[in-house]
Structures are given as C-alpha cells and as structure tokens.
Chains A and B, each alone.
Chain A
Amino acid sequence: MRCRWIPLLLLLGSAVFANALTGQDLLRTIDRQVTFDTDFSGEYTVTQDRPGEPRSVQTVALFRRDRDNKFTMLILAPEIDKGKGYLKVDNNLWYYDPVGRRFTVSSAKDRFQNSNARNSDFTKSNLASDYRIVETGQTRLGKFDTTVLQLEATSEDATFPRSKVWVTSDNLVRKTEDYSLSGQLMRTVAIPQYQRVGDRWVPVMMLIVDNLRGKKVDGALHYETTTIRIAKPNLDRVDDIVFTQGYLEKVAR
C-alpha cells in the first residue's frame, strides 16, 4: 500500500529539485553576464546627491580580476580624497587612507565613501553563491519585459538578506530592491543601460536610491541618491602588483 506513494513522492521531489537547479542556473547565468574571465578595468564616476547639500563627485579607477576574486579601487578625484583606495583579495577587504598611511579592515557590505553604494556594488556579481530564488514572476518594467526574482540570502556574505531583482530576457539585471531580514526596503538600484565589453556586459550607469536616508525639502521627502557612471571599460591585462597593498601605498605617495 505504502509502496504506491513512493514513485509519486520521488517524482515530486525530483520536480522540486529540478526547479531549484533551474533557479540557481538562472542566477549563475545572470552572474556570468557581468563577470569577466579576463582582467577588467574602468573609470567609475560616483556622484552623491544629498537633498539640501552640494553634490559630491568622486572619480575612481577600478581594476577587477574576477577569476581570483580580487579588485582594487583607487580614488583619483577630488584632490582631498586622492590616493584613498580599496583592495579586495578573496574575502578580505582593506581600505587605505594615505593620511594615516594605514590599512583598515572593511567589508563588502560597508558603504563606499559614505555614499549609498556598497563596496559590493563594485565587485563581481555573486547572486548564485549568495542567494536562492524563493519566488518568480513576470512584469513589465518601463520598456522592458522582465522576470522578477525574489531572492533570499543563503550566505553571510550577502550584502542584504533579501532582494528582489528584475531581469530582462538577455539575463541582465535592470532593477534591484534590497530589503532587510524583516522586509524593510533599504535601497533601490536601477541599471537602465549596459555597455558590451568583449562578450560580457558592464552597466553604463547605476542609480542607487537609499530608501531610508534623505531629507524633507518643502515638505516632501527626497531620498539620497548615488549615481555610478562607468567609462573607459577595458579588458587589457592588469599588472599583478595592482592587486597588492604595496601598490596602493606607492600610488598614494
């Protein structure tokens, strides 16, 4: 009698398993679209808008070696921040301040230079290793037909415990909403346009809206925003020395 149910249970189990695999495969595909097998470098312009305050703009040189999980960021402008930098090797992230001439331990989850961007926004995409899909759906996002994926963190390394991503048919993320564990919307990221670099993609611009920080201006609440523009994408090989602490110390002198 009991044996009759076993094949059915096996069938159901395998269906669930297959679905989960499909989900992780999708995340892996999304990651692959914006991850480079070769080295990558580019010039990032980070513009911070705080309501009622002057706009601040930083220019950052970014060097990525995704296959080794490394990146180096070096602030080029403004003059006051010039020489500050970040170095990530595996899971270790250091911040270098040329004034104190010392490295401090940072985290990919930390805010980049007090902006609304996180350090993880500059690294390779880790959706497949950090999240699992808990729900999917279809919706229209402006001019795009998108698949909406509700994600739940499976790793402590995930910057946010819950995320909702809008993905177009080319497997590029167009919008992300990041939530706290209890479901509070923390920030929204929009990536309206990508540029092709080799056989992979890099955003042309990312707009990050902090859904908690802002200011009331004329009675209306305006949230802080950070815009990241990426120019001069390059796939040329980057010297090994660039991914060392010595490099940040040297260029800051």
Chain B
Amino acid sequence: MLLRVAWRNFWRQLHRFQVILTALAVGFAVLVVMIGVTSGMTQTLKNKAARYFGGDVTVFSFAPDRRIANEAEVVKALKSGPGFQALCRRTEYYGGDATLFFGGESVRQRKLVGVDWSAEGPQFALLDWMAGGPIAPGDEKGLLISKATADRLLVRCGDDVTVVFNTLAHQRNSLSLVVRGIFRDTSFFGYASYTDIKTLDTALGMEPGAVTELGAILGPGWSSTDFGASLVDLLAAKLPTYPLISSRQGQVDAMVRSGSGKSVGVMTLDANLAQIDDILNSLMAVTWLACGLFLAILMIGVGNTYRMIIFERTQEIGTLRAMGISRQRLIGLLLSEASFLGWAGVALGSLFGSLALWGLRSPDFSDNTLALLFLQEGRLAPWLPPVPFAGAALTLVVVTVLGAGVPALRAARLRPVDALREGDSQ
C-alpha cells in the first residue's frame, strides 16, 4: 500500500524530480562507463595473458624432458573444472636463446611455442592481426610472429625465416618456417613466436604431439585461483601434484627442486600476472575512488534537491499528517519515493551508459603503444560484469535514499498545523 502510494506520488510529481533524476542518470551512466571500461581493459589484458601463458590455468611437468606423461588424466581434470571454456595444448621452449633470422637480421625470442591449432585456433583468431592470420591445423611450416619481431627482421607474410634454438640434448637445431601471420602486441607479450606443436616437438627431440603444458581458458569472470585450487585437488587424487603455485618465483623454486618428487605443477594466471598486479590494482583503485567521489557528490546533490522538494510539498505533508499518517509511515513514504527515483536513475543511466560503451568500441587507439596492453584489435572491449554492475546500482539507490533521509526526517518532525501554515504562506 505504502509503495503504491509512493509510486503514484513519484509518477505524478515527476516534474519535481526531473533535475535530480537527470543527475542520477548521468551519474550512473558515468559509473557504468567506468566499470565497463576498466573491467573490459582488465579482461582484455587477462585474455592476452591467457593466450601468452597457455591458459588461465596451466599444468606443467617436472620431468627432465618437461613432457606431461599423463595427458589424458590432466585433460579430464581440466575439462571438469569450474568455468572451463577451451583447452590449450602446447610445447613451450623457454631457452631464451631461440633466435629468428631473416636476411641477415636476427631477433631473440622470449619463448618459442608449439601450438595445437585445432584446439587453440579460435583463441588466436582474436589477436590484433597486422597481416595474415591464425595457422590452419595441419600446417606444419607456419609461424606467427609479433609486429615488433617482424619490424626488426624486415619480414613479411610468406617469407621464410630460420629459427635457431637448442634441442633437449643441448644441440643447436634450426627450423625453416614460413611467416603466416604478424600480430600486434606489447613487448610484455610480444617476443613470442608460435608454430605447430608437432614441428616443434620433432625439432626439440621430443615425440611428435607430446605436450609440455596443458591449460584451460576460462569464461569471463571465472577465478583462475579457484579453478587452480580445485584442479590441484582433482589431480592430486590421480597424480603426484605439487601444491598450487602462487607466483612466478614459486614456479622457479619448484622447478629448482624438481617439483620435490611430484610429477606435475599447477600455475594460475593470477600467479603469472602477479608482476603486473600493481598496475591492475591501481587501475581498480582509481576507478573505485572516482566512483566513491562521484557517489558522494550525488548524495549531497540528492539531499539538497530533496530538501527543496520537501519544502515545496510542505502543505501536502501537513495534510497527510493531519489525515493521520504516522511519522514513520511518512518517512517510509518519502524514502520509498527516493528509492523509485534511484531505480529510475539506474534504469536511465544503464541505457545511456550502455550506449556510451557501445560507442567506445569504435575508436581505434592502436597508435597508442602504451594502451595496447589493454586493447583488443586496437580497440577497447568494454565488459560490464554483473556483480560490480549490480553493486553499483544498489549503491546508487542506497545513496539516493540516504541523501533523502535527512530532509525526510525533518519533514516527519513537522507538526501538521505548522506544516499547513507554512504551506499557506508559500
């Protein structure tokens, strides 16, 4: 009953709320844009990192040849984890001496990756391609390199490059591969080249098709740490598994100890990204600080506007009180109106914010090298995660109600006779 009266009051007196409703809608739209942009940037970075590290969660071997012997067991465990989306099957060469040669020029690569294209092709299609594209399954001569590498080698798609590295038996070996694609990426993920897993296995002296890393790509919003923890539990029931590794240094320590007798280790993307956690945390801190300031300003604005609205409605309040409405019900009525105002602001703000986010997908920022880390194909890829969005919406409503609280309390304190008199004098 109270809510129905409140809704009728809100709807009939919408003209009084126009200004504050516009402010709330614009404010929430800004919040939506800020959350959408920062979440999108973070998610894009994580997607790039997942592609670079071979999954949001990766399983690696402590065997001397680094080959995962129980592939079927590990794949089964990965596929049953929470949020599993796609499988990564890789052989990774971290020798640090992998060098690409073309026309006398040379570029060292941070790592050389053998990829099972039938499993990971769709993930690679999302790279920011400058030329060419992902390698088709079965193409054993193809190579994908970054733009930074291509620029230094003066190489183009279709050119033959020589890749030199050491085999497992510490012998110098080389591959002559054809550049099929050149992708743009920051130096953080850039100096890695990708070729067919069987080609690299054979060249390294491993059995063709063997893997050194198995990984899982997770759906947006799923926690790699949670997945990693459950994966360790699943694997531990079947294989000697090292405890969940929480940092790059932790992985190095585990490798130095040869896994302390365990056969596999599990590394999460969160652990891999620990190095750039500061950047991500700073980004989120700035976003939430800005949101907080914005909400505080909105609350003050709502308070002032509501004071004015209540002043204008003094006679109406006096009449309601004279008709016998209690102070508590009056406060409830005014706060309910405020909550409707807040929800209306959320609805309109969501609409405006979503339109703004859609518009932000268009501009090409690929010339900005610093921003590349957070861009997908040179553009922002905003993403509105449900939980922060719902939190922001609820916060806006609470802020509106809190802003209206003080004026509502004052209105409730008015005696009916004083209210009617003040209303007459207006």
Contacts and interface: CB of A to CB of B under 8 A. Distances in A.
B104 interface: yes
B104 A223 contact: yes
B171 A184 contact: no
B106 A212 contact: yes
A197 B262 CA distance: 56
Nearest to A210: B104
A222 B105 CA distance: 11
A212 B162 contact: yes
Interface in A186-239: 186, 212-216, 221-224
Nearest to B154: A216
B15 interface: no
Contacts of A222: 104
Interface stretch (B119-127, B173-181, B245-253): B173-181
Contacts of A159: 172
A221 B172 contact: no
Interface in B142-179: 162, 164, 167, 169-176
A146 to B, nearest CB: 25
A180 B101 contact: no
Contact of A156 (B162, B169, B203): B169
Given A212-B101, A212-B162, A213-B101, A180 B106 contact: no
Interface residues of A, number: 22
Q: What range describes how many residues of B lie at the interface?
A: 10 to 19
B103 interface: yes
B97 to A, nearest CB: 9
A153 interface: yes
A223 B104 CA distance: 7
A169 interface: no
Given A180-B164, A184-B162, A212-B164, A156 B106 contact: no
Nearest to A183: B174
Interface of A: 51, 109, 153, 156, 158-161, 180-182, 184, 186, 212-216, 221-224
Given A184-B162, A212-B164, 15 more contacts: A156-B169, A161-B167, A161-B171, A161-B172, A180-B164, A181-B171, A181-B174, A182-B173, A184-B174, A184-B176, A186-B172, A213-B106, A215-B105, A216-B103, A221-B103
19 contacts: A153-B171, A158-B171, A161-B172, A161-B173, A180-B172, A181-B172, A182-B173, A182-B203, A184-B162, A186-B164, A186-B172, A186-B174, A212-B101, A212-B162, A213-B104, A216-B103, A216-B104, A221-B103, A223-B104
